[in-house]
């Protein structure tokens, strides 16, 4: 099959040539906020992470698709990414676990992509200019630039509403007898696997009021990861504020940001975010450095944290707040992903800390 030539055009006019892969974009043009991820493996988990809703993911590792795809590695019911950008797409996957190739996976889920792009140049440009909207497809350069300029990006957009579940559902425990309610802001399946080791998990939609959660008499409440700007998910912040002090709370990624907001803090957008599987984070209580998996474009502003909130973890690359704790409210959160999927498991102890908080064995 002859390659389909295509262009990627960023909102500032920077242009890249490539070959179109995956599903055809609606109208021949795919748009979204262009970000980059530095993982060496785990491309399927990245693409199926709902936290990427509204974004086009660039993989910095040059060879993507080497080991194919399979149903077990999906982190959600379907990918919510707007598209993907790669340097070299493997045409023949090699793995005993593979049930298909990445191109077939993209086509099956309606995700457009572009390969053959100089992803090193693209990544360096994003690092210098910041994440920005982009468009790719087989349209002419002027059309693609106009589409990129018209793309709103993620700031001020409620993307959580596009990925959350429609109705509550329960995941049986694989260990422990605790009852946990998990808010679905875009929850990953790997997180659910860790939580079910603590007890039965009832997953509820993002807009569920605090009163409905408390009616379930949970032992703990979990706030999941998710996409977009935490400042526009006010309904979730309001619910968390009502839950504070009523039940132990643990938040990850967007859940961490929403917890901080409910505690009176504010958030800010990073220039190009943290997306990868090798970010060093210092645990302040011990001085230990954890290598972490991260995926976020927003962060908690440290100078907005009140005296009742302690910073527990910091990013060693840029000093961003990576963890907070509010002992009086029995609540804590981390910006990174202790469940990994993909990434290292250095921080999985945090699920044990949640269990200890529920059981009254710590703060």
CA distance 254 to 260: 10
Element housing 255 (H / E): helix 254-262
Output the DSSP codes for 6-22: EEEEETTS-EEEEEEEE
Paired sense of beta strands 169-171 and 199-205, if any:
antiparallel
339 catalytic, yes or no? Answer: yes
165 catalytic, yes or no? Answer: no
253 catalytic, yes or no? Answer: yes
> Active site residue: 151, 200, 253, 353, which one?
253
Q: Do 127 and 34 touch, CB atoms closer than 8 A?
A: no
Sign of torsion, CA 294 300 301 302? negative
Instruction: Take residue 273 and report the two structure tokens written for it.
Output: 């975010």
> Active site residue: 125, 194, 256, 337, which one?
337
Judge residue 167's burial from the number of C-beta atoms within 10 Å of its C-beta, 0-12 exposed, 13-18 middle, 19 or more buried: exposed
Give me the phi and psi of 268, to 5 degrees please.
Answer: -140, 155
Angle between helices 254-262 and 234-243 (to 10 degrees): 70
CA distance 79 to 323: 27
CA distance 216 to 92: 49
CA distance 107 to 137: 15
Q: How many angstroms from the chain centroid is the CA of residue 73?
A: 15
Which residues are 135's β-sheet partners?
9, 31
Residues annotated as part of the active site: 253, 337, 339
């Amino acid at each position: 099959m002859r390659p389909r030539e295509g262009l990627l055009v960023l909102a500032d006019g920077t242009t890249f040539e490539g070959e179109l892969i995956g599903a055809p974009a609606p109208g021949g043009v795919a748009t979204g906020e262009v970000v980059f991820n530095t993982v060496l493996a785990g491309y399927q988990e990245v693409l199926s992470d709902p936290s990427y809703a509204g974004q086009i993911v660039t993989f910095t590792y040059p060879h993507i698709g080497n080991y194919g795809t399979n149903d077990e590695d999906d982190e959600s019911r379907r990918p919510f990414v707007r598209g993907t950008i790669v340097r070299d797409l493997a045409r023949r996957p090699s793995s005993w676990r593979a049930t298909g190739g990445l191109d077939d996976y993209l086509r099956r889920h309606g995700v457009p992509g572009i390969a053959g792009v100089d992803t090193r140049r693209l990544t360096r440009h994003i690092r210098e200019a910041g994440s920005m909207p982009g468009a790719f497809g087989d349209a002419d350069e002027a059309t693609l630039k106009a589409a990129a300029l018209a793309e709103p990006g993620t700031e001020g957009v409620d993307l959580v509403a596009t990925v959350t579940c429609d109705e509550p559902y329960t995941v049986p425990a694989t260990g422990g007898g605790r009852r946990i309610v998990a808010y679905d802001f875009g929850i990953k399946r790997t997180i659910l696997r860790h939580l079910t080791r603590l007890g039965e998990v009832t997953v509820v939609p993002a807009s569920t009021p605090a009163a409905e959660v408390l009616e379930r008499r949970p032992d703990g409440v979990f706030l999941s990861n998710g996409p977009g700007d935490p400042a526009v998910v006010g309904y979730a912040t309001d619910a968390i504020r009502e839950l504070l002090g009523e039940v132990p709370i643990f938040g990850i990624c967007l859940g961490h940001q929403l917890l901080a907001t409910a505690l009176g803090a504010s958030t800010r957008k990073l220039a190009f975010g943290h997306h990868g599987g090798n970010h060093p984070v210092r645990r302040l209580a011990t001085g230990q450095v954890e290598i972490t998996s991260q995926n976020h474009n927003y962060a908690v502003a440290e100078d907005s944290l009140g005296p009742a909130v302690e910073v527990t973890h910091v990013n060693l690359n840029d000093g961003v707040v990576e963890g907070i704790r509010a002992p009086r409210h029995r609540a804590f959160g981390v910006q990174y992903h202790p469940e990994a999927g993909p990434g290292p498991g250095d921080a999985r102890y945090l699920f044990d800390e949640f269990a200890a908080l529920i059981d009254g064995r710590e703060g």
